[in-house]
Amino acid sequence: MIKLTMIKEILQIGDPILVTKTNPVKDTQSTEVKKVIRDLLDTCHKNADISAGLAAPQIGYNMSICVCRRVDLEAKDEQLDEEKLWTVLINPHVVKESHKNTLEWEACLSIGRGDDNLWGPVERPKKVTVNYVDIDGMPQTIEAIDYFGHIVQHEIDHLAGVLFISYITNPSNLWRLVDLNNYIDKNDSYPDIE
Ligand SMILES: [Zn+2]
């Protein structure tokens, strides 16, 4: 059987849907929801070399669904199949967050393509607890820490219409991917934060 995949175009900043709060999903098992999840996963697989996650509004759907890459499991060298590598969160909510913050460099597939993809340092709670509904319609809880925690919070922000650049008060902290890579090659570290 031929498996048809649907790679969606990733919408770019300036599109109003990216700054619009999404609607919660009512019927998680509907055909429409399953199609959105399939499109999100197909688009993540296609962009696997540059993607850490994706939210439904980024491919044009006003729905509270996102996909997060399990970088925490990858870091443990676990052999992950595609299903385990990408976790689908439906109607996710942060129910608990640590007082301690961590800083990570983030980027977003909706903010610049290729060399022009923008990166910047973002401070977020180090650890969050998130309630969500999984693809089978079952309520779940996940704890997300450090870089994985940033991914989960970044994607949940998308569902509220919030982009990571909102947290960057000084534009001189935003770097184009190509310039950031050159800087890191030369200095063996990320740039100082202004
Ligand atoms: Zn993003």
Q: In what order do the strands lie in the sheet with 65-69?
A: 53-55, 65-69, 86-97, 127-133, 139-145
Determine the Cα–Cα distance for residues 184 and 91; give it in Å rounded to an integer.
37
Determine the Cα–Cα distance for residues 45 and 115; give it in Å rounded to an integer.
20
User: Is residue 79 very low, low, confident or very high in pLDDT (cuts 50, 70, 90)?
Assistant: confident
Q: How far is the CA of 57 from the centre of ligand 1 (A)?
A: 10
Q: Which two tokens stand for residue 77?
A: 């060298």
Q: Cite the active site residues.
A: 155
Q: How far is the CA of 178 from the centre of ligand 1 (A)?
A: 18
pLDDT at 155 over 70: yes
pLDDT at 164 over 90: yes
pLDDT at 4 over 80: no
pLDDT at 160 over 80: yes
Per-residue pLDDT, 1: 52
One-letter amino acid at 90 equals: I
Determine the Cα–Cα distance for residues 55 and 58; give it in Å rounded to an integer.
6
Q: How far is the CA of 58 from the centre of ligand 1 (A)?
A: 8
User: Is residue 174 very low, low, confident or very high in pLDDT (cuts 50, 70, 90)?
Assistant: very high
pLDDT at 77 over 90: no
Q: Over the stretch 13-70, which tens digit does the pLDDT of each residue have?
A: 999 999 999 999 999 999 999 999 999 999 998 888 888 999 999 999 999 999 999 9
**Residues with Cβ within 8 Å of residue 34, at least 6 apart in sequence:** none
User: Is residue 7 very low, low, confident or very high in pLDDT (cuts 50, 70, 90)?
Assistant: confident
Per-residue pLDDT, 173: 97
Dihedral of the CA atoms 46, 48, 51, 53 (nearest 10)? 80
Q: Over the stretch 85-127, which tens digit does the pLDDT of each residue have?
A: 999 999 999 999 999 999 999 999 999 999 999 999 999 999 9
Q: How far is the CA of 152 from the centre of ligand 1 (A)?
A: 10
Residues with CB under 5 A from ligand 1 (ion): 108
Q: How far is the CA of 68 from the centre of ligand 1 (A)?
A: 11
Per-residue pLDDT, 80: 83
| Minimum mean pLDDT range among 43-47, 56-60, 135-139, 169-173 | 43-47
Q: How far is the CA of 2 from the centre of ligand 1 (A)?
A: 31
Q: What are the strands, taking DSSP E only, across 18-138?
A: 53-55, 65-69, 86-97, 101-107, 118-125, 127-133
Per-residue pLDDT, 3: 57
Mean pLDDT across the chain, nearest whole number? 94
Per-residue pLDDT, 113: 93
